Amino acid sequence: MNKQTVVIPLKHFLHVDQCPADWKGLDLYLFRDESAVFYVGQSYLAFARVWEHLIGGFKGHSIVGRFVWANWPKSMKFTIELLSSQSAQFEGVGHDLNAAERQLIQRWTPCFNVSLNTQPTPVPAAYLPPNARLRCSRSLNKLIHEAERVVKTEDTNLLAQETG
């Protein structure tokens, strides 16, 4: 059986270059942090669409992708949520993909969804807007390695706390 929801920090998502088999049925996605949802979207393969946003952000082809890179390295702490329109929470809309996306947009009022969203949440003051100059490397490989170093450091610190 496929998973119904995946919640993964961006710094970990960047290390998943092939879609795991149990994520293939996930067709909705959110970019968020602990206080705001930045974007809700749909795709028959949400995993691939999140990657398209991230890659498209370097050239301004994706506002949420651009927002991620404009706020690097702080954005490493963002969360990616992948969901299934077939999950129980979307039963009330007949598991219809468009209706499920609309429901999420109406619930979260994401910062960068302008369709179906009469009052987008303002971008939190802690973040730069997506049109800010990119201060990070434009090499995806370098950014992935940077995220990997952060994850390893966090894991080492956690292990030291547990054994200390």
Question: What percentage of residues in the chain have a pLDDT greater than 90?
Answer: 90
Backbone dihedral angles phi then psi of residue 65, each to the nearest 5 degrees: -65, -45
Nearest to 81 by CA among 44, 121, 46: 46
Judge whether residue 104 has pLDDT over 50. yes
CA-to-CA distance for 39 and 56, rounded, in angstroms?
15
CB atoms near residue 9 (< 10 Å):
16
Express each pLDDT in 134-149 by its tens digit.
989 999 999 999 999 9
List, in sequence order, every beta strand (DSSP E) within the chain.
5-9, 28-32, 37-42, 79-83
For 12-47, what is each residue's pLDDT tens digit? 999 999 999 999 999 999 999 999 999 999 999 999
Stated pTM of the model: 0.93
